[in-house]
Structure 1
């Protein structure tokens, strides 16, 4: 089954990952938002925006935000989730084939990378580095246990994304791996003149 067909089938049910009802998902969103080193971002991009629950939370921190997903049904749900945020633009896209123009100071890769085979994952990682501004943040959060639909491991995804970037933070537990990278080291305390 192709990746597009997999997600088309999955999104025939409402909120298939239970983003709105599971504490695991609410906690993961809170961790993601807490790890963002800046209060605001000029231009963000969320790959794999799904039904837009995280997208709406990110919109509160971004002047402009692009959300992309492979599933039209997911994007229809995302439009409802983000209707209060006029700075959000949603597009159907298959990555790494479909790629937006411009550069972003925040790129969030949520549960996307492990659906790609190794060659596509490497290509996507290279393209993401080129789409990231010099002072931008690339954040990735992935489920750690293996599952049948995965084509790459979480470690493979995060390893590919980390090449040629400086690690800003890492959080992991038995369930998830959350990491952020930038082209150069960052410090919230330094930005605020505390050191």
Structure 2
């Protein structure tokens, strides 16, 4: 187990909902904004990175045929599975980004909410390489990042810009929408369906 994974296991062991995902007005408003920003009413396969205890995962499951929730904390995932036992279209997987990015085909929705700024710059660049390999043409990618102090090496805005810049070097982007709220920013990228292959020899 990495130090990062151990850190989050300790956090969730002390409080299974440390950010108030179930009770915070900020979190509920952010969930509504995220769902409202989705360009399409329904998706085939979604990957949610940093799914935590599965609150947003549950909401996404009503808009998707399948949702894969990924998190590095076994403690959080135990709670996510318990909370979503009645949603058979959700699968939770334990793993640490970027290496644990799921090897799935035809993923038409990617959700990375409040997770990028926990990564180092090189890890974000590696992650975009992995994401671009299974992000379907015409699919959407949603980033949500807190705009206050993160206490991490990267701030939310920096992490978002690095991910977007790296992704643009790998995959054609047809549309880019940025929504800025008082405490967070929400970015929606849509992959150009006319570019079905990842750009070759043009890394970030």
User: What TM-score comes out, normalization by structure 2 length?
Assistant: 0.85
Note the residue ranges of structure 1 that are not aligned, 5 or more in a row: 186-195
- Whole-Å separation in 1 of the counterparts to 2:158 and 2:128: 11
Question: How far did residue 166 of structure 1 move?
Answer: 4.1
Question: How far did residue 41 of structure 1 move?
Answer: 0.3
Which of 35, 56, 65 is equivalent to 2:67? 65
Asked if the contact 1:15–1:51 (Cα under 8 Å) also holds between the matched residues in 2, the reply is yes
Output the aligned Cα RMSD.
1.5
Map of 1:145 onto structure 2: 148
Alignment pair present for 1:86 and 2:88: yes
- Whole-Å separation in 2 of the counterparts to 1:3 and 1:60: 31
- Whole-Å separation in 1 of the counterparts to 2:174 and 2:98: 22
SS at match of 1:11: helix
Residues 160-189 of structure 1 deviation map (CA, whole Å, 9 limit, x = unaligned): 22231344321112200111102228xxxx
Of stretches 114-123 and 27-36 in structure 1, the one that deviates more from structure 2 is 114-123
Map of 2:184 onto structure 1: 176
Residues 8-41 of structure 1 deviation map (CA, whole Å, 9 limit, x = unaligned): 1110112111000011000000000000111110
Map of 1:20 onto structure 2: 22
Write the mapping of 1:32-181 to structure 2, written as runs, cut at 5 A: 32-103=34-105, 104-148=107-151, 150-163=152-165, 164=168, 165-181=173-189
- Whole-Å separation in 2 of the counterparts to 1:97 and 1:157: 18
Alignment pair present for 1:4 and 2:12: no
Map of 1:191 onto structure 2: none
SS at match of 2:26: helix
Of stretches 78-87 and 37-46 in structure 1, the one that deviates more from structure 2 is 78-87
Asked if the contact 1:11–1:74 (Cα under 8 Å) also holds between the matched residues in 2, the reply is yes
How many residue pairs get aligned? The number is 184
Note the residue ranges of structure 2 that are not aligned, 5 or more in a row: 194-204
